[in-house]
Every structure is written in structure tokens, then in C-alpha cells.
Chain A
Amino acid sequence: MNSRYMTNKIILFFIVGTMALIALFPFYWMIVSSFRTNPEIFSTKLNLIPKSFIFKNYIDLFKTTNFSRWILNSIIVSVATTALGLFFSTFAGYAFAKYNFFAKNILFVIVLLMMAVPRIVTIIPIFKLMANLGLINTYWALILPFAINPFAVFLMRQYIKNIPDDLLDSARIDGCNELQIVIRIIMPIIKPSLGAAGIFILMMSWNDYLFPLILMTSKDMMLFPVGLASLKTLYVVEYGMIMAGSFLSTLPLIIAFLLLQKQFIAGLTEGAIKA
């Protein structure tokens, strides 16, 4: 029995380990490339182990570009978007999941419908709208469209559906009003989904390209995806700097993930019936 368990354990580790290696390989490539010279990055030899090791790409990145400002802009936009987005989508998702109100189904279908429209086709109208509101080149131009995230609403609805109704009913009997139910009961329970939705909104906003490209027009307000892409001109592509910048830009996301991960993993082994 024991040796069988051990064998299974090892096999499991091996399988997952191989998959993890596949998942990590391009990331490894990116890190290694960021310490290489441009010609070495783009040569066709396999070069798994780096031949050169230089810091030049990182130094150039900070000296010749506005990289730190780009990252700061991205952090501001993404954090605000995630906070606002969680707020909006939790309340809306809860309403869709646990109530029956006028036109509920139609509204939900409209939400789904908007998810289905390719975003690229909305960029010109949204640009016009932001221009009319005077929001071009401000952080709000990027925060608002992303904080309103039908995907996140949909996600929260799915998670909240699983919460048993009698839990809510018993709270109502106890005299809680609806707002208190949301804040005191629902919020603690859905920590896993808040974590997942938070990561989702964070990522959509962090790596987005089209909207930051079009909606920000000044040098100081560039976000890093657009900034890094500007290192790719018709003639010269600064691969080394792009790799260096990309590596640095994955770090905040990974840190955010590690923090949010604790949120939803540490949580709920006790069960939800815990009034």
C-alpha cells in the first residue's frame, strides 16, 4: 500500500513537473535573452545556455526610455481597474445570481452579447466618447472601460450561484438587510472568486495593448506594452530591451498572483455554513 502510494506520488510529480517545464520554457528563454546581445537572441542556433551575459539591455532600457514611468502608469491603471472592477462585478453578479428582478434575463443576455463583440470595433467610438468627456490622456480613459467588465460579472454570478439560498434566508430572518448580507456574508465566502476575478481583471488590464495605444497620446502617459512596442521600428528592433522590459513587467503580475493566491487557497476548508 505504501509503496504503491509512493509510486503514484512520484509519477504524479513527474507528469506535473514535465508540464511545468513546458509552461516555463519560454519564460526562461525570455529571461535568458534579456541578458544577451541582440544578434545572439536572433541567431538560429539553439543556444539554450547563454553565451554572453550582459546588463546592457537593462541599463539601456532605463536610460534611453521612459520605462519606469511606463510601469508606474500601468500599475496605477491596473490596480484602480481591478479595485473598481471587483466592486462593480460583485454587486452586479450577486444581483444576477440571487434575485429575480424586472428584465433580469434580458439584461444578462445583453451583458453576454457585449462580451461577444470584438473590442477592436469599439475603439473609435470610445475614443470619440473619451475625447468628448475630456478624458483622453488621463488614467480614467483606461480605467473606466475595463472596470466595467462583463466577463467578471459573469464569473461572479457563476460563483455566487453556488452559495446555498438558505444561508441567505437565515440571515434575512436574523434581521439583516440586503446590503449587510452582501458585505458580511457573501464577501467573505466568495474570497476564492474575488481572487480569481481580481486576477482576471488585473491581467486583462495589465497586458492590454489596443486601448492604451489609442487612448493615451502623450509621452508621459504611455503604458509599458505600448512603450515596449515602440522599440520595434521599421528598421531596428531592440530585442534585448524588449525582453528585459517584458521580464520586468511580468514581475508585478507574478507578485500580485502570489498575494491573491493566498487569498483563495488559505480560505475555505471549513465549509460555508458558518454563520
Chain B
Amino acid sequence: MPSIEGIQYTYQIIYHKTKVGEKLFDKKKSPYFFIAPFFIMFVVFWIWPIAQSFIWSFSKWDGISEKKFVGFGNYISLFNDNDFLISLKNVILAAIVYVVILLAIALLLGFLLNSAMLKGRAFFRTSFFIPVTVSLPVVSLIFCIIYAPHNGVLNNILSFLGMPGSIKWLTNPKIALWSIVGLRLWRAVGYYTIFVIAGLQAIPKSTIEAGHIDGANTWQVVRYIVLPQLKPIIVYVIIASSIWAFQLFEEPWILNQGGPVNATSTVAIFIYRNAFQFFKLGYASASAYVLTMVIMIFAIINFRIMKD
């Protein structure tokens, strides 16, 4: 079996002799070559399936019998469906609160964990990453115990500190949703902090030093030099985390099945229920695309604000 070096060497010779690179990879044509592999696969595995389910959203279909074309009928019914409206409201509220808090903590932690003043940075980085390695069903199981109304971990800690210790974290309709948002935050913060740290690390030290030499104090350096450099990452964190927030499914489903009485119901739960339990594929698809539009509007607003 030829060695790797041998293969590389042969490749280099052919490449340079035939000047293949120069002909193929000039400035005009390259982007198409670079995009092509991704895009072909993208069309096959993402766009085509999505197009199919989009078409389904215009029919009434249980997956097995004949499709019945209803035009926009599904979409109109959705806006008369209380379950749907409540889940949409839940998900929009939760997403906004979640993203704001997440961004604040991720930025803060990113700076703290990057600071030379902190001992054991590597250990802390790993510990904040760990929540996201635990799979969701297990996390939900564990949080069942943490959020338990009688003798749950959280309630025990509260009563230890002298505060009322019998809060119904998951069964009180008013706070159930926020308990789930808290769970998500716990899980995701460390994860997005990694992105922030990577972004901070990519800022050349010389740039920061230049700022200091010019007489700026730490806060000004952060505000005028670091944050602008971080802007693309911040945009990514906002968009990515909000998309995940809008698509919230496992945590409220495993903990509560979207209850009590839709208090923690999300659009993803609505889709799952309607598709797999009620056999209403067209209706479920329609609700998915309403959510998609909401997410896109949110993303576009974000892009505009951050001017990216």
C-alpha cells in the first residue's frame, strides 16, 4: 500500500506539471467549485425533503389514505386553533428571554474564562462544556428530580436557605415554561461560551495592545475594539440559539408533555403530536412552516439590527 507521503508527492507533481490548479481555481470559477459539493448534497438531503413536506401542508393527509387538497385551509385552521396559538406564544416569549440572557452570560463567561487572572481556565472551560455532553433524555430525567415539588433538590436548597421550599417548578402553569427555559440555559451557556472564546482568541494580541498603547482603558478596549471584532460571532450566537429555542421540543416533552394544559407546549410539540399521534401530516407541516416564517422574520430583524 503506497505511503501517504508518496501519494502526496505524486499529487504535487501532477498538480504543478499540468497547472491544473491555475486553470481550475482562478478567482472567477473557484467559488462555484467550493460551493458545489455542499450545495448538491444540500439540495438532495435538505431542500428536496423540505419541499415535499411543504407541498403536504396544502393537503389534508393522514399519511396512508388519499391526499385531499385544501389550499390554505390548514393555515387558516391553525389560527383558529387554541393549542397552536398558545404554543406559538410560548415559544416566542421563551426564545426572546432565552436569547437575551444566554448572550449576556456567554459573553461574560467568555471574557472571564479568557482572562489571565483566572487560575485553572482549562478546567473551568471543560466544566462549562460538560452540561451539553449529557444527552437530553438523561438531562430531563435528572431535572425531574431537581425540580420535584416535594424534596426536590432545588426546593431543598431553598428551604435550607430559609425560603419557601415547595415551589411547583414544573406543575405551576405560570412558572413551568421558565423552569424549562432555565434548564435550556443551564445546558447551552457553556456551549456558546466556547464560540465566544474562539472568537476572542482569534483577535490578534497586537490589536489589543495597540489599543492600550493609545491610552484606552480596559472598558474602552472592550467596547471599541473587542466587541466589534466579535460581532460576527455574536450574530451567530443570537441566530443559532434563537433557532434552537424556537424549535424547543425534548425538554418540555419529556418533562411535562407540554402540560399542564399547554403551559409548556411548543410548536415542535404541536407538530410532533399532530403528525405522529393524530396522523394529521398536512396540518402538522403547515404549522412547521408558520414557525419557519416566524424564525426567518426574527433572523432578518437581527441581521438588520446588527447590520451584517
Contacts and interface: CB of A to CB of B under 8 A. Distances in A.
A and B part of one assembly: yes
Interface of A: 5, 8-9, 12-13, 15-17, 19-20, 22-27, 29-30, 33, 42, 44-46, 87-89, 91-92, 94-96, 99, 101, 104, 107, 110-122, 124-126, 129, 144-145, 147-148, 150-151, 153-155, 158-159, 161-162, 172, 177-180, 182, 192-193, 195-196, 199, 203, 207, 209, 225, 228-229, 232, 239, 242-243, 246, 249-250, 253-254, 257-258, 261, 264-265, 267-273
Given A24-B130, A246-B138, A179 B21 contact: yes
A179 B117 contact: no
Contacts of A45: 151
B65 interface: no
Main secondary structure of the interface of B (DSSP, over half): helix
Interface string B155-167: 0100000000000
A95 B34 contact: yes
12 contacts: A19-B109, A29-B145, A92-B39, A107-B39, A112-B299, A122-B49, A122-B53, A151-B240, A158-B236, A229-B137, A250-B134, A268-B201
Given A29-B142, A257-B129, A22 B186 contact: yes
B68 interface: no
Contacts of B189: 23
Interface of B: 21-22, 24-27, 30-35, 37-39, 41-42, 44-50, 52-53, 63, 109, 112-113, 115, 117-120, 122, 124-139, 141-143, 145-146, 148, 150-153, 156, 186, 189-191, 194-195, 197-199, 201-202, 204-207, 229, 232-233, 235-236, 239-240, 243, 246-247, 249-250, 267-268, 271-272, 275, 281, 284-285, 288-289, 291-292, 295-296, 299
A116 B299 contact: yes
Nearest to A121: B288
Given A158-B232, A225-B135, A242 B27 contact: no
Given A29-B145, A178-B27, 17 more contacts: A12-B112, A13-B118, A23-B190, A46-B153, A107-B35, A114-B47, A116-B296, A124-B63, A125-B53, A177-B25, A177-B26, A179-B21, A179-B24, A203-B132, A207-B136, A250-B133, A265-B201
Contacts of A91: 34-35, 37-38
A147 B35 CA distance: 14
B143 A95 contact: no
A239 B288 contact: no
Nearest to B129: A257
A148 B44 CA distance: 10
B257 to A, nearest CB: 14
A95 B267 CA distance: 34
Contacts of A22: 186
A269 B53 CA distance: 48
Nearest to B285: A121
Nearest to A229: B137
A111 B39 CA distance: 9
Contact of A124 (B39, B126, B272, B281): B281
Contacts of B206: 271
Given A153-B38, A177-B26, A120 B229 contact: no
A121 B247 CA distance: 11
| Residue with the highest number of chain A CB atoms closer than 10 Å, among B45, B122, B240, B246 | B45
Contacts of A265: 122, 197, 201
Given A44-B151, A268-B202, A242 B141 contact: yes
Given A116-B296, A209-B250, A225-B137, A148 B45 contact: yes
A19 B113 CA distance: 12
